[in-house]
Amino acid sequence: IGDLEDGFIDILRKLLNLHRTGIPRMEALKKISTMRGVYIPALYRATYWRDNLSSFHPITGDTPDFIKRACAKTINDDPSKSILITKHTKFSCSFMIEISRGCPYECGFCLYRYANYPPRFIDIGVFEKELQNAKDKLGDKFNHVSIIGSAIANHPKFLDILNILLANELNLGLPSSRAELLKPDYLSLLKKLGIHTITIAPEVGDDSLRKKIGKDTTTEEFIEFASNINSLAIPKLKLYFILGLSTKPQDEVDSIITLIERIHTNYKGHITISVNPFTPKAQTPMAFYELPSEKDLKKAFLNLTRAIYRENLGEVKSKSVRQGRIQRLLSLGDRRVSEYLTSSLKSKKLRNVSKEEEKFIPTPDGIKPWDHIRLL
């Protein structure tokens, strides 16, 4: 559980040494279960009472009650990276590298902060060294770099990173970014680095709901951002939204449409709107957030899609409400979810979640199947 860099080599060495002794498999697993980040589900027993998880505990005294997440102090020792040399692919002869891990923001719906805290950044010298290594391996065909991370513009040397890539005449691939952080000087460099699409995530249409879910970017900051990329003639903008963050999803639809209309007024390029149902995540403040009815949510999705196309505001991409309910079960459910997966395997598709299977999801005040996993 957590970062591989923190102790994974020690775990492998211990397993190898145990294997050489001929120790039985389960005994070997017991031996490594005390190492930080190691979780052996078979060493923990779940019991149930009246459809609810009633206890979850180790089966032996040697197994820890809680599993602490492995957390690397730095991402500089061996940065996560990939040199792509495959031919006939979109990113052939390109380089991917993680420049940040963890997120300083507190969006209540997002697991990333809670699973990867605290934020850590690659040193600029390490970045340059890894970039040079990629150039040496890929040669003259090397022309593209994808940077990986959450809120990447929070990197204290983000401007330097962009200038280094520009000096090396490389194109850049960018993940979803926070609109308020991509100031005009950054955007100008991104345009020079071959960026054709920028992705931002308003999540919802109005400031009050956005603030309620822990995201403090304002509507006016999104409008200013749209104007800035329009002035630079960046041709494509992608917007991420979540639907189902209140018990009145039609109100969400109305505010989303209003926001998109304002963005559309200030930006003349192609807009893609990605809208997905809210999926609660374990270990987040919104794990047990009240959801709208499935009927109301389906109607809201239909109304939103129709309004966007009717007003010619952009292209819509979305996941179904059904998929959202399945993801919720997989995210929050206890071990009995295996029964659902087994039956789905027989039918060769993930079927609709039944009322009985909804009982696999714990109650807010009950024992949760992740209580023994300590992320922070």
- Does 151 have pLDDT greater than 80? yes
pLDDT 10s digits, 285-294: 999 999 999 9
Domain 177-332 is in which class?
Answer: alpha beta
Domain ranges of the chain: 8-65, 74-175, 177-332
- Confidence label for 64 from pLDDT (cuts 50, 70 and 90): very high
Residue 362: Cβ within 10 Å count: 20
Helix or strand run (H / E) with residue 81: strand 81-84
Mean pLDDT of 356-366: 91
User: 74-175 — its CATH code?
Assistant: 3.30.750.210
What Å distances lie between residue 242 and 33, 291, 300, 302, 306, CA to CA? 38, 12, 12, 14, 17
- Write the DSSP string, 210-245: HHHTT----HHHHHHHHHHHHHTT--EEEEEEEE-S
pLDDT over 80 at 88, yes or no: no
Backbone φ, ψ for residue 193 (5° rounding): -85, 10
What would the pLDDT profile of 267-288 be if each residue is shown by its tens digit? 999 999 999 999 999 999 999 9
Task: Assess whether pLDDT exceeds 70 at residue 297.
Answer: yes
* Residue 91 pLDDT level (bands cut at 50, 70, 90): low
Sign for the CA dihedral angle at 340, 343, 345, 350 comes to negative
Distance CA(202)–CA(219), nearest Å, equals 8
Please check the confidence at residue 365 and state whether its pLDDT lies above 80: yes
Cis amide linkage into residue 58, ω under 30° from 0 = no
| pLDDT computed for residue 60 by the predictor | 87
Q: Point out which residues pair with 270 in neighbouring strands.
A: 236
Contacts of 9 (CB under 8 A, 6+ apart): none
21 near 55, Cβ under 8 Å? no
Same fold, 74-175 and 177-332: no
